[in-house]
Structure 1
Amino acid sequence: MDIGVTISKVRKEYKEYLRETHPDWADTTISTHVSDAFYLYQNTIALSFWKCFESDAAMEKAKGEILDYLKQEVMSDRADERTAQYYRDLKRLKEFIDSKGGVKTYIGYEYDCEVIVYKYAKMVYDGTMEMDAAVKAMCQDVPCFGETSHKLTIMLFASMMKGVKYTRRSNTETTVYFIVHIGKDYGQEQMVNALKATQENIKYYYEQTGNKSNSIRRGCKKIVEENNIDISFDDEIFDGIIPKENTDTALSSDATATHYWLYAAGDGSANWENDYAEGIMAIGWSDLGDLMEYSSKEEMRAKMKEVYGDTGSYKNQVLATWQFANELKPGDVVFVKKGRKQILGRGLVEGEYVFDPERGQYANTRMVRWTDKGEWELSDQGAIKTLTDITSYTDYVKKLQNMIDGDKHEDTFDDAADEEITFEPYTADDFLTDVYMDEDRYKVLKSLLLTKKNVILQGAPGVGKTFAAKRLAFSIMGEKDTNRVKMVQFHQSYSYEDFIMGFRPTETGFELRKGVFYEFCRQAAEDDRPYFFIIDEINRGNLSKIFGELFMLIESDKRGVELQLLYADEQFSIPSNVYIIGMMNTADRSLAMLDYALRRRFAFFELAPAFSSAGFRAYRTKVNNPKFDRLIATVEQLNDVIANDDSLGEGFCIGHSYFCTNATINDEWMRSVVEYELIPLLKEYWFDEAVKVKDWSRTLREVVK
C-alpha cells in the first residue's frame, strides 16, 4: 500500500526528535541522518519497511538486506562500512519509534494494511463474502484508500489466482505479500500462477511506460529462489519489447516528496465555494467513467475522442485526468486559481481518488483539507489548465506560499494556453518514399531511437542526415507536428547558458534567461506524446560543457530523475518522451575522436550514399536524363576510389543528396554541382595529391559538358 503520507509525517517528527536529542548537530547533519535512517525505504530494499522495527531479529534481517543490496546491486567496495553507517541510523530511528509506544501503536493500521486487504480479497475469492461488503469493510479498516482502490485490490488477487495478466499497479509490499501467502494458503501451483501474472504485469507496464519495476522484480526473485521455481524476473523478460513513445510514470528521486498543484474548481472556479464547504476537489469529464479503469493515457485519449469527437489531441485534458487519478496523492498541496491571475485558496490533499457518479458532471473527486481561503492577485499570468503540477518550479511555489502566508511576492510563472492544431499525417511509408532507405534499416533505426532515446546519425557529406532526422521524427509521431520537433546546431562557442539557462546582459544589468533545451523539455513534460530534439554538428560542441549537470540525465534509465539546476533554485529532469537525434559528418577531419561519455549515451547509426536504393533508382527514372545517369555512375566509381583510399575511407564518400532537387535537372544545373560542390570537396580531400584532383575533375567535367 502507499505509505508515503505516513513516511513524510514520521520524517518530520523524527527530525524534530533529533533536534531535541542532539542540539549540537547542524541542520545539514540532521538531514543526513534522517535520510540514512530511511535508506531501506528509499531504495525499496525492505519489502515491509515498518516490520523492520518489530524486533531485534527483524533489525538484524534488515541489516543483512542492506548489505546484500550494496554488494550485489550497488557493487560498492565499501559495502560493510556503509551498511554499518545505515544500520546505526536505522537503530536510532527505532529508538524514536519505540519512544512513541512501538511501531504498531505509532504507525497504526498502515503497519499491517497488506494483511488486512489480503484477508478480504481472499474471502471474496473464496465466496465467503460479497464484493460490496468486503469493500465497505476495507474502507473502514484501511481508510486511507477509497472504494475504487480496494475493488482493484480484490481484482488483483483474482488475477493472480488465475495466472491472468493484470494491468493495474500495486506496490512492492502488497504484491509480494499476496504472492507469498497465496503459496501458503493455496499451494505452489497457485503461487506459480501469481508469479506468472505478475511477470506479465511487469512486461505490460514496461511496454506502456519504460519502467522496469526493479523493486517488485527484486521481491519476486527472492520468492522464486526460495521456492525453486523456474520463472525469470531478470532483464531478459524485456527482450523484444519496445516501450511506447508516451510514458505515464517517470522515475523519481523521492516518490514520497510533496507535490504542489494549481487547480481550477470548475469553469472560472465557479465550484470553489462548494468545494470548500464539502472539503473536496473535483474535476469534470464524468462521461469517461471511473478514471482508474484506464491503464494508460492513450486509453483515456481514445475514449475522449470517442465521447467528445475526434478533434485535436486532447493533450491537456488527458494530462489533467490522468494526473488527478494517478499522480495527485495525499499530502500534496493544492492552490486554487481563478483565471490566470488570481489565487482563491490552499489545501492539503487527504484522500485517494473517488469516482462518484451521483455528483453529475464533476464526478471525479478527492478529499481535501482546505487551510486557506481568500483572494490573492498575481502580477503575471499563471497556467490555464485545470490541473498543473508546479513542483519543479520551486521559486514560484515559494512565492505562492509566502503570498498566502502574508509575505507577498510577485509571481513570474507563465504557462501559455495550448491550441489544438491538426497537422498533415506522415507515416512510415511516407518516410520510405522521402528517405532513400530500405524498410529493414528504417525499423532498426526507429527501434534504436525508441529504446536508447538518443541516436547519432553519422555519415559522409550529402547523405541526407538532417533530412532523414526530421522525417524520422515525423514518422514516429504520425504527423508533421513541427511544434514537437526542435533543431539547433552546435559549435565551439555554444554553451550551457545557450542550452539550459544563464545570465544575459540587458539594458539595466543581467537577467536569467532559459535556454532552448530547457524550454523544450518543459513543453514536453506537459504532454505524453513523443518530442524530438535534433542537434546538427553534435560533435563540434563541448557536450560536457553544454549539458552541464544534465549530461547523465540524457541516458534512457535516468529520464525523469531530477537534479538541482546550476543557476536556479529549481529541480529539473529530462522527460522520458524527449528523444535526441544528433548528426555528425564522418568526413570532418578537424575534430578529435568523440569521448567515451558521449558514445556511451548514444546509439550510432551510419547513413551511407543511397545511389543503389530503390528510392533513388525511382528518382533517376523520374528525372529521365541520360547525362544525369552517367554523372551518377561516375560518382559511384569515384566513391569506390574514395572508400579504398587509406587516407579517406567510406566516411568520405559523396552522398546522394547533392543530386536531389526540386529544380529542373539540365546541363547547367549539373555543371554547377560539379564545379562548385564536388570539385571543391575533392580539393579538400586530396589537398596533397594535385594529380588525383586534376584527373577526377577532368572526368567529372567531361560527363556534364
Structure 2
Amino acid sequence: MNEIASEGITSLKEMLSNFDREEAKKNYEESEKERMEVIRLFPLDQWPQLELEKYALGLEKNTYCHLLEFKTTNIGSIKGGSSAKHIIYLKHKDSSWYIPLELKKQVNNEKEAWEKIRENFVKTFLFAREMKWDEIDDIPYGPSLRLKSIYIYFPDKILPIFSKEHLIHFLNALGIEADRNLERATLNSILLQNLRQIPELKEWNTKELAFLLYKWAHPEQSIKVFKISPGEDAIYWQECLSNNYICVGWDKTGDLKSFESQKEFKHKFFEEYGDEYKQKSRMISKKSKELWTLMELEPGDKIVANKGKSEVLALGEVIEPGYEWIDDRGSFCHVVHVNWDTKYAKKITPQEKWAFVTVAEIDAKLYKEIIGSEEMKSITDMPKELIIQQIEVALENKKQIILYGPPGTGKTYHARRFAIWWLLKKLKYDNPNEVLINNETLIDYENRLKTVKISNKVWWVVANPKQWSWDMLFKDKKVDFHLGRIQKNYPLVKQGDLVIGYQSNPDKKIVALAKISKEFNTSPNDEDKIELEPLVRVRNGIEYEELLRDNVLKNCEPMRLRNQGTLFALNHDEADYLLSLLAERDNEIDKYIQQPINESSIGHFTMITFHASYSYEDFIEGYRPVPTSSENLVLRIEDGIFKRVCQQALADSNKPYLILIDEINRANVAKVLGETITLLEKDKRGLKITLPQSKEPFQIPDNVYIIATMNTADRSIKHIDAAIRRRFAFVELMPDTNILVGAKIGDFELDEFLEELNKRIAKKEGREKQIGHSFFLEKEKPVTDPEIFAQRFRHEILPLLQEYCYADYSALADYLGNELVDKDEHAIDYEILNNPERLIKALNKALISDEG
C-alpha cells in the first residue's frame, strides 16, 4: 500500500480541522437521490437484456446516457467534449448512428455494435464486484462513462471522480507518484486505498471523500470568462435575463451536441456560412470557434453579457445543463444557461475587439475592471490564461520544462509571469493572481524573489584620531560621514556593505570592521552622508608598511592615494584577498565575512541567459584565476549558479526554488549540464553524485524547478539532444492572432495580415519560423499607430524575412508583394518602406485585399 507523503497528509489534515462535514453529507444525500433513480430505472440485473433505445443519446429523454450526463451532476460530472464518450449514439443531423471506428470494422450495424458494447458493460460490472481494476481498464471504449457506471452500482468500491487528469492531480497533491501509464479505474482504486490509510477518514463514504478532495485541492481553480452579446445591439437581452440564459445565432448548424467532434462541426459551419463570409477561410474558422466555445463552457464559468464595445449588461455564472439547443426559440437557438447578476451593469473602457466578435474571452485585467478591485482580491477562481495552466501542469509533473516557439510569441514574457505567480502561490503570499494583471506588481515581486548580485562591496574608510577614532564608533554605536575627498564613491555605497576600518597616525593600521547602516541619498531634502555601525575590532591588524610591500594590495585605491581621504573602494579580488589575510590573523572576524564577496544572494527566483560561450564552469563549478601576493595567478574552484541554487534549496527544503533559463538552445546544453543531467529526472532527485572537479557530493533537491525558453527560428526542437528531450516537458507557444482581432490601422487588419504572412512563411520555411504576435503589441495592446507599425516592420520583421530568404528577392516578393520588393532589381523600394501610409497600403494589397 502506498505511503502518503507527510507534506500531503499534513495539508489535508489542516483542511480537515476547518472542514464542514455537514456540507459534504448534504452533497452526498443529493447525489444518492440521483443514484437511486438511475438504479430504479436501470437495475443492474437487467443490463444483459438492456435495449439500445433505452441506452443511447438521441432518442428518448431519459435514456441511460442522458441520465448520466445531464441528470446526475451531483454524483460527478462527465460533461464536456463530444458525444463520442457515450460510445454509441444517434446523430441528429442525418439520423445515422455514431460507432467508434475500430468497432465499426467488426460489426454490420448498430444492433451488433450495441451487443458488443453491452457485453463490455456487463464485464465491467463483474470485474468491479471482484475489484479487478486492471481488467476493467483493458476494456475498450467509454472509460469515464463506465467508471461513473461502476460508482452507480458499487459506490463503496470507487470514488466518484471520473477524469484521469483529476485522479492524477489528487494523487500528486497527496505526494503519491502517479503513473500516467495507468488508467482511470486503477488510479481511482490507488487514490481510495491511500485515503483509507488516514485514520480520520476511515468512516467517510466515497462521495464525502471526493467532496473533501475537491474542496482541498481542486484541479481546476481557474474559471473561464467570456463575453457574449445577445444579438446585435443586445436585441435579445430581456429574453435572456428573464429566462436565465444567453443565446446566439448561427442556427444553420443545428444542435452542437449532435456532432461527433469539433472537426465535423467546423466542416458543417463552412458548408452553411461560407458564402456569408465570402469564403474567407480565416474568418469562417474564427466564427466557428466562437460558436463552439459554447460547448466548452462548464458550470461555474462566467459570462459577461455586453451591448456594443463598452457596456456590460450583467455578469452571470454558467449553470446546469450548460449548453442547450432550444428549437422552440425559432432563431438564436444556441443557448447557455446562466444565473445573471445585474449589479455589475456598467460602462467600461471601450473594447475595440468586441465590435467584431459575438463570443470573446475576457482576461484577468478586464475581469478586474468589471467586478472591481476589492472583490477581485477576495476571489481565488479568477480567469487564468490557458498557457499558465499548461505550464503549471507540465512543471509540477516533470519539474523542468521548455517553452518553445517562433520569435515574438511571448516565451520569456509568459515564463516570467508564470514563475512569479507560481512562486507566490507556493510560498502562500496573499493574492498571487495580481501579478498576472498588474505589471508593476509583477516587477515588484520579481525583485523581491530573484537571485541578485549582492552589492556588498567592501569599502576602506580612514579615521584620523585627531578628529575621530574607531574607538568612538564602538562607544557611540554609529557615525555619520559627509562628502569627503573622493566624492565619486559616496553614491555607490549601499546599505549592508562591509567596511574595513583603517586608523591613520599614529596607528597606521587596520583596526575594525563595520557595516553601512544608511546609504548616501542625493535627494534635495536629505543630507549627503553615509552612516556606519560597528561589527568587530580587528586584533593584530595589517599595518601600513605591510600593505605597501604586498604585491596585491599596494596598488589598491587607498594605498595609491596614501590614505589621503575618507572613503575608498576595493575591487572584488582585493577585498577577497585582504579579508582572507585578516581572517588568518584573527579568526574571530571570520563569521563577519562568511558571505562571499560579490557573489549571488540566492532567492527563490533566478533568471539567467545562455549564450554560445556559456559553460559547465558557469553553471555547475569550475576553476577561476585569482591573484596572489607574489603577483602570480592561482586557480581556485568556484561554484556555478545552479550549484548554489541547489545548495540553498537543500537548506530550505520546504520552499520552492525556480530557475528561468532564457535562450537555452544557444548553449551546448548537454555540456553545460554535464554529469548532472541524470539528476534532473524526477525519480533521481536527492540522488548524490561526486563532482569531478571539486570532488564534492552534489544532488538536485526535489524543490528545484527549471523553466527554459527556446526560439525555434534559431534551432528546431528536433535538434535538441535526445537525453535533454527525455528529461524536459515541452510547451509550445505559437503566434496568436486572436490577440489582434479588431485591431486596425485604417482598413489594415493586423490579425489578417499576420495570419496570411505566417501562412506563407509556414509553407516555405516551416511553422517554426513564423512571426509572433508580440511584434505588433505595445504595452500589451495592439499597435494602432502607423509610424510604430512601420518601425516594427522595418527594424524587426523585414530583417527576419530577409534572413529566411538569404538574399532571394523572388522569395521575399512572395511574402511581401511585388510593389514593395523588386525581384528583378533585387531591391526593396525604400520610398514605400519609409512611408508608413504607402507601406501599409502595399502590405494590405499583397496579403489581405482581393487585389493581392
- TM-score band by shorter chain is 0.3 to 0.5
Structure with greater Cα Rg: 2
Whose helix fraction is larger, Structure 1's or Structure 2's? 1
Give TM-score scaled by structure 2 length: 0.31
Q: Of Structure 1 and Structure 2, which has the larger fraction of its residues in strand?
A: 2
